Amino acid sequence: MKERFAEVPTKSGAMKTFVTHPEQDGPFPAVILFMDFWGVRDELLDIARWTAVSGYCCVVPDFYYRQGTVRNERHDAQGKMVSLSRLDPTTQASMLAPLERFSDTEAMDDTESLLQFLADHSAVRAGPKGSFGYCLGGRLVMRAATRFPEQFRASASLHGSALMTDRKDSPHRSVSSIAGEFYCGFAEHDPYTPPGTVGVLASAMQASKGRYHHEVHRGAEHGYALPNRDIHDKKATLRDWEIIMAMFRRQLSGRPISQRAIAQINTERQER
């Protein structure tokens, strides 16, 4: 595997972006992992590595770059990241502070810059791109699929937050422009997703040219899909990846993961 941090030029400065892809048989279809509100961290970089060994160039942009270096993490005694709802109010406020200064519009401007960076990258195959994201990232995946429908043809929002609001710019109001495949993985218990979101979003998706699928994972909580979370749901996460990888293969022509690649990335993780 090859990996590095690149400085992607944007209108607001240099955006630090993690880039990883296999060493052989490139170029590869590009996949963007949109960060959650916690920000870029080792957990997301490992997920990007696992995506890359399946035959993709996976990138993780740090959309908090305008605020400097933001690393929001709290761990329990077992080393698992503690979910926001289980933190005390003071700590919650501290964790949410960078999000209050965050702008979806700016993130989409940055995504446009990132797409240009990918277009010029020797390891990236020209053509359709994939994306996936968690929480905030799940919403940004939807924003990107609606703003750049000609680019994103395989997108996955996992326990996405604020997908449907009463604002005029609510993400669900623009899904008719989606042209590729789109998948939503929902938790049965999610305080950040209003009860009517699943049905309203499914109805809105019927107006799009794309192919939409969603699943509500029984018993799962918000954050279930992140492997280092205190409420990680392995069964639900594996189901999501089954759907996502099949979608990527259909739309991006990626290659299935090999046992040799699995062994290699496990060795590299142990060495780190």
Q: Report how far residue 72's alpha carbon sits from residue 95's, in angstroms, rounded to the nearest whole number.
A: 6
| Residue 272, pLDDT score | 45
| Residue 152, pLDDT score | 97
| Residue 267, pLDDT score | 57
Residue indicated by tokens 């062994």: 263
| Residue 73, pLDDT score | 80
The verdict on whether omega for the bond into residue 27 sits within 30 degrees of 0, i.e. cis, is: yes
**Is residue 128 within 8 Å of residue 151, measured between CB atoms?**
yes
| Residue 92, pLDDT score | 87
| Residue 185, pLDDT score | 98
| Residue 94, pLDDT score | 87
Regarding pTM above 0.75, the answer is yes
**Is residue 222 within 8 Å of residue 83, measured between CB atoms?**
yes
| Residue 98, pLDDT score | 85
- Name all domains of the chain by residue range, CATH numbers in brackets: 87-259 (3.40.50.1820)
Low-confidence ranges of the chain (pLDDT < 50): 254, 256-259, 261-262, 265, 269, 272
Convert the pLDDT of each residue in 219-245 to its tens digit.
999 999 999 999 999 999 999 999 999
Per-residue DSSP letter, 25: S
| Residue 270, pLDDT score | 52
